[in-house]
Amino acid sequence: MTKKVSEKLENIAIIGNGGRENSLAWAIQKNTLIKKIYLIPGNGGSGTIKKCQNLNLDYEDKNLLIQTLNSLEIDFIIIGPEIPLAKGLGDFLRSKNFQVFGPNSDGAKLESSKSWAKSFMRKANIPTAKFWKVSSIEESEKIISTAPFPLVVKADGLASGKGVFIPETKEDTLKITKEIINGKFGDSGKIVLLEEKIEGPEISIFALCDGKKYILLPSAQDHKRIEENDRGLNTGGMGAYSPTPILSNAELSIICKEIIEPTIDELIDRKIEYKGVLYFGLMITKFGPKVIEYNCRFGDPECQTIMPLMDINFVNILYKCAKGNLNGDEKVLSTSKVSGCVIASSKGYPENYDVGFPISFNYDEYENVQIFHSGTSINEQGDIITDGGRVLSVVCQGEDFDSAFNTAYRVLKGINFDGIYYRKDIGNQVRTNYSYEGH
Binding site for ligand AMP (CB under 6 A): 129, 152, 161, 164, 195-198, 202, 224, 234, 281, 292-293
Query: Looking only at Cα atoms, what is the longest distance across the chain?
Result: 61
Can residue 21 be called a binding residue for ligand GLY (CB under 6 A)? no
Q: How far is the CB of 418 from ligand GLY (least distance, A)?
A: 25
Closest CA to 46 of 422, 392, 296, 397: 392
Among 16, 218, 237, 350, indicate the residue that binds ligand GLY (CB under 6 A). 237
> Counting contacts by CB under 6 A, is residue 188 touching ligand GLY?
no
Q: Which does 300 bind (CB under 5 to 8 A by kind): ligand AMP, ligand GLY, none?
A: ligand GLY
Question: Minimum distance from CB of 281 to ligand AMP (Å)?
Answer: 5
Backbone angles phi, psi at 185, to 5 degrees: -115, 30
- Residues written for the chain: 439
Q: CB-side exposure of 268: number of CA atoms within 13 Å? A: 13
Burial of 410 (0-12, 13-18, 19+ CB in 10 A): middle
Query: Is-contact 319 28, C-beta < 8 A?
Result: no
30 binds, among ligand GLY, ligand AMP, none (CB under 5 to 8 A by kind): none
Exposure string over 171-204, b if 16+ CB within 10 A, otherwise e:
eebbebbebbbeebbeebbebbbbbeebebeebb
Decide: helix, strand or coil at residue 411: helix
- According to CB under 6 A, which residues from 159 to 178 bind ligand GLY? 161
Name which of 292 and 296 has its Cβ closer to ligand AMP: 292
CB of 235 to ligand GLY, least distance (A): 9
> How many residues bind ligand GLY, per CB under 6 A?
8
For ligand AMP, the closer CB: 175 or 197: 197
- Please give the residues from 250 up to 309 whose contact with ligand GLY meets the rule CB under 6 A: 295, 299-300, 302
Q: How far apart are the first and last CA of the chain?
A: 54
Contact of residue 70 among ligand AMP, ligand GLY, none (CB under 5-8 Å per partner type): none
The listed partner (ligand GLY, ligand AMP, none) that binds 295, CB under 5 to 8 Å by sort, is ligand GLY
Residue whose beta carbon is closest to ligand GLY: 237
Q: Are 366 and 413 in contact (CB under 8 A)?
A: no
Rg (CA), the chain: 21
Least Å from the CB of residue 338 to ligand GLY? 18
Query: Least distance in Å: CB of 300 to ligand AMP?
Result: 13
DSSP 8-state class, residue 421: B
| Residue 202 binds which entry of ligand GLY, ligand AMP, none, CB below 5-8 Å type-dependent | ligand AMP
222 interacts with ligand GLY by CB under 6 A: yes
Indicate which of ligand AMP, ligand GLY, none lies near residue 135 (CB less than 5 to 8 Å, by partner kind).
Answer: none
| Dist CA 378 CA 1 (whole Å) | 34
256-280 b/e (C-beta count within 10 Å ≥ 16 → b): eebbbebbbebbeeeebbbbbbbbb
Q: Is 329 exposed, middle or buried (0-12, 13-18, 19+ CB in 10 A)?
A: exposed
152 contacts which partner out of ligand GLY, ligand AMP, none, CB within 5 to 8 A by kind? ligand AMP
Q: Which of residues 113 and 295 has its CB atom nearest to ligand GLY in the complex?
A: 295
Shortest Å, Cβ 376 to ligand GLY: 18
What are the φ and ψ backbone dihedral angles of 283, each rounded to 5 degrees?
-120, 130
Q: Please state, in angstroms and rounded to a whole number, the distance separating the CA atoms of residues 215 and 317.
A: 9
Q: How far is the CB of 383 from ligand GLY (least distance, A)?
A: 29
Choose from ligand AMP, ligand GLY, none: what does 237 bind? Cβ within 5-8 Å by kind.
Answer: ligand GLY
Residue 161 C-beta: closest distance to ligand AMP, Å: 6
Q: Which of 49, 48, 18, 51 is CA-nearest to residue 34? A: 51
* Smallest gap from residue 160 Cβ to ligand GLY (A): 9
Closer CB to ligand GLY, 88 or 161, in the complex? 161
292 binds, among ligand AMP, ligand GLY, none (CB under 5 to 8 A by kind): ligand AMP
| Three-class SS state of 208 | strand
- Report the nearest approach of ligand GLY to the CB of residue 300 (Å): 4
Q: Which residues of the chain form contacts with ligand GLY (CB under 6 A)? A: 161, 222, 236-237, 295, 299-300, 302
